[in-house]
Every structure is written in C-alpha cells, then in structure tokens.
Homo-oligomer: A and B are copies of this chain.
Amino acid sequence: MVKNLDERKSSILHAIIQEHIITASPVGSRTIAKKYDLGVSSATIRNEMADLEELGYLEQPHTSAGRIPSDKGYRYYVDILMNNKGINSDKLIKTLSEITKAKKGIHGIVSGITTMLSEFTKYATMITEPEFKNIKLSEVQLIKVTNNKLLLVMVTDNGFVSDKMINIQQDLDKRKIRYINNFLVNKITDKNINNLDKNYFDEIEDELIKKINLSQQLFNIINKEIKEINDPRDINIYIGGTSYILDQPEFNDIEYLKKVLNILDHEDTLKKLITAENNKEIEVRIGHENEMKEMQRCSVVIANYTIGDKAVGKIGVLGPTRMEYPRVISTVNIVSDILSKIISEVNK
C-alpha cells in the first residue's frame, strides 16, 4: 500500500519529522535548508514539501505556517525511515534488575517496572499483569484454619498461586478434609482448567456425596475460584508517569487532556487502549489508527511479553503522535524482553 518515496523526498520528510519531534512546531523550508545539509535550496525543499503534502505525508495548519507530519507521514517514518539504533540499554537493564531484586511478587515487579519504564521514556506507561491461559492445576490443598474456616490453595502449572478463605457451616474433621483434598487432587489437577466447568463440578460432586456427607457450598466456591483464576477481567493494569503527559505541548488544551486522563482513569477503556495482537512482537498505533477517537492525537507503542512463546501480558507507552518513536520502541523492546525473562523465572 505504501509506495516508497524517492530519496530526496524521503530525506526531506525525515528531516521535517525529526525537526518537528524536537520543536513541536510546524517546520518551514528554510529551517530544513539551514539545519540539514541536503544540498538544495529552501525553494527546492518548498516544492518538495508541496508535493509531500499532496501525497498526504505532511499537513499545513494554515497557509502561512510550516508543515507538520500527518499520521501517514509518521507511519512512513516508523516503517521505513526511522533509525532503529537502540538506546544505551546498559543503564536500563541495570535499573530493571535492581527493581526486580527489591520487589516481591508479581504486583511489586510489574508496578515497579511500570514506573521505571515511564521514567526512561518520559511518557505515560501501562503494563498488564501476566495472564495465564490453557493452564492446569498442579497442586490443590485444603487447609483447616479454624473450626469453620478452610483455606483453599491452588497452584497452576505455571506457578500462579490462588488462595481463598472459605467459611463453612458444616463441621468437617481433619480426616474428612484430607479425604476431600485427595479426591480433589485426583479430579481437578493435571486437567486443562477450561474443562473444569460447572457441569464437571456437578458430576464429581455427586460422586463425592455418595461417599461422604457434604454440603454443596464447598464445590461452588472451588468452581468460582477456578473461574476467577481463568478470568481475564481480573487482570490488573498498572499505570505510571501520567504527569509526563503534561510535558507535551499537545496536551496544553485542558479539555483534551481531560479526555485522555479519563481514559487512563478507567480500567475498561485502558484495557481497550492497550489491546494488541498477541502474535506481533511490537505494535505502533499512530493517531487515527487508534480506535478510540479521544486517542487520535496520540500514539501508542505496545509490546507483548511472553512465557515461552506465548504472550501473557502487554507493555504500552502512550504519547502524542509526535513521539520519539526510536527511543520508545527500543526501550519497550528491551523492557518486554526483560519482563518476559523475569516472569518466566518467577514461574519456573
């Protein structure tokens, strides 16, 4: 779809975008002629700019202003022009490994990395907690805590631990609990969690009730708990660096700023924003490529982080379309790699 531009147009477009990313203002032909050594005069650049505008790569806020890149222009920049040389990753990697050491648990790690990512990119960042699919239970333990309280602990084969306090009316002695526990281990571990549905529980419950006296309540709770292990709605999103948004002049418009912050405020819209295909390593959504119209003056860079080759979570950076793509993309790449490693490690 995107036709390649000839070399001179490319250089000029490249120069305009780089200049605009720095200054956040419309860029004029004279600036390009002076600052970038393209070997042609401002008049020539002027003609080329008119062409680039006609082709849709540039826009003119008004007749007597310079040009700014269009979404199409940025897209061309990201896909073709952009210098993909990474940032200096040493410091980033060092800082990340420090966080990982200091924090405990998935919550701590993910929230720490979210903050760190925003401090490195200077944009708002979002990271979802890892989500596990097609998993099996590897361990089930029913522990008596008090006379009418049981603790149910379930461990998935990728190391996720779920625990739930259960209040029981029925008085279950330790022997009975052990019996139920063994029964559960046989029936629900090592099976794909998706198959452990209401029907299956009804079945095995009948089976158990034939053998020992038991109120229904317990199995309902276990069933519900397993559903929740499997429920993507419960995935937390961490968000960091919202105050960096204000550094960008495109958000000086308070009304617009409010719309954007409002999206970040609500889990549902935030999840929609950070949606991306699982099989892509990194996805850059520029301006109107975003579904939500409030986001169409923004760009989002989203990467998956993985366990093995399965995507388990998303890393996102949100900024104006005039974003420093090369820096953000390489940072996001590094962070998603490291997070993949960390989560895989925790999961071992």
Contact = CB atoms under 8 A, between A and B. Distances in A.
Interface in A223-273: 228, 234, 236, 240-243, 246-247, 252, 254, 257-258, 261-262, 264-267
A161 to B, nearest CB: 5
Nearest to A139: B145
A246 B258 contact: yes
Contact of A254 (B108, B146, B246): B246
A231 to B, nearest CB: 9
A222 interface: no
Interface string A23-40: 000000000000000000
B161 A155 contact: no
Contacts of A348: 149, 167
Chain A, interface size category, equals 35 or more
A41 to B, nearest CB: 39
Contacts of A107: 236
A141 interface: yes
Contact of A139 (B151, B243, B247, B252): B151
A149 B254 CA distance: 53
A143 interface: yes
Interface of A: 104, 107-108, 111, 115, 118, 138-139, 141, 143, 145-146, 149, 151, 153, 155, 159, 161, 163, 165, 167, 228, 234, 236, 240-243, 246-247, 252, 254, 257-258, 261-262, 264-267, 346, 348
